């Protein structure tokens, strides 16, 4: 039986525990741990009847990745971690894999902050939840490290090489973000996760735009 590496397993457990906590205390989870745009935004009335405001808090740049909008949202993100996380962790080691995933989540959050705060999407002020930015970072890494491995899509069930999969999904996300389709989906956060993942891998490899880091080769 295939045994998941420790960090991959821990991430799956953390997502499940966070979702249960979110269901038990939804207001606290969204107000304080979802990713809010910069500045304060009136949400509603608190227990004392006065307007309740919340805005960006520093830990939200990572904590938003533990929250999800639905069971389906959680399931597909967890499935992606299960499918791709183990191979990457076995290749890189647990510390490097965890660092990579967290950078992708934080990078996706930073891009989302810029997009939502600036009002580029025209969708107003809203919180962002989900580990999808980190997931897209994992997809990019998988395509770069194992470009010729076959991936079977769920919908539709079409096999394709990992490199092709990454290119297709990256292009779709870019087009959907530019043309503001599928309202409620953080397309630019997904692209941000891929961008920061690409930068991390290029840094580890000592490739432009970074200087060479010596003879050590990193996949």
Q: What is the pLDDT of residues 120-131, one digit of tens each?
A: 666 667 788 989
Percent of the chain with pLDDT over 70: 78
Comparing 153 with 179, which gets the higher pLDDT? 153
Strands 159-161 and 51-55 come out as unpaired
pTM of the model: 0.86
- For residue 77, the Cα-to-chain-centroid distance in whole angstroms is 9
Domains and CATH numbers, the chain: 6-205 (1.20.1540.10)
Which of the four pLDDT bands, split at 50, 70 and 90, describes residue 40? low
- pLDDT at res. 100: 97
Find the helix or strand (DSSP H, E) in which 146 lies.
Answer: none
- pLDDT at res. 174: 64
Range picked from 39-43, 170-174, 193-197 for highest mean pLDDT = 193-197
How high does pLDDT run on average in the chain? 83
Q: What is the pLDDT of residues 53-78, one digit of tens each?
A: 678 889 999 999 999 988 988 998 89
Comparing 52 with 165, which gets the higher pLDDT? 165
- pLDDT at res. 60: 94
Q: How large is the greatest C-alpha to C-alpha distance in the chain, in angstroms? A: 63
Mean pLDDT of 40-61: 70
């Amino acid at each position: 039986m295939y045994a998941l590496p420790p960090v991959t397993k821990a991430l799956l457990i953390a997502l499940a525990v966070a979702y249960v906590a979110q269901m038990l205390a939804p207001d606290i989870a969204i107000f304080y741990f979802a990713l809010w745009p910069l500045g304060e935004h009136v949400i509603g009335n608190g227990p004392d009847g006065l307007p309740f405001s919340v805005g960006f808090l520093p830990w939200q740049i990572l904590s938003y990745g533990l929250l999800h909008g639905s069971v389906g949202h959680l399931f597909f993100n967890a499935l992606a971690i299960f499918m791709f996380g183990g191979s990457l962790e076995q290749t890189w080691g647990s510390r490097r894999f965890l660092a990579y995933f967290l950078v992708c989540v934080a990078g996706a959050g930073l891009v989302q902050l810029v997009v939502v705060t600036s009002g580029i999407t025209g969708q107003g002020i809203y919180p962002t939840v989900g580990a999808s930015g980190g997931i897209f970072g994992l997809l990019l890494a998988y395509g770069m490290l194992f470009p010729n491995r076959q991936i079977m899509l769920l919908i539709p069930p079409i096999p394709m090489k990992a490199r092709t999969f990454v290119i297709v999904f990256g292009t779709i996300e870019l087009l959907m973000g530019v043309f503001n389709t599928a309202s409620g989906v953080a397309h630019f956060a997904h692209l941000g996760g891929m961008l920061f993942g690409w930068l991390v891998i290029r840094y580890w490899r000592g490739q432009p735009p970074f200087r060479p880091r010596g003879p050590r080769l990193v996949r």
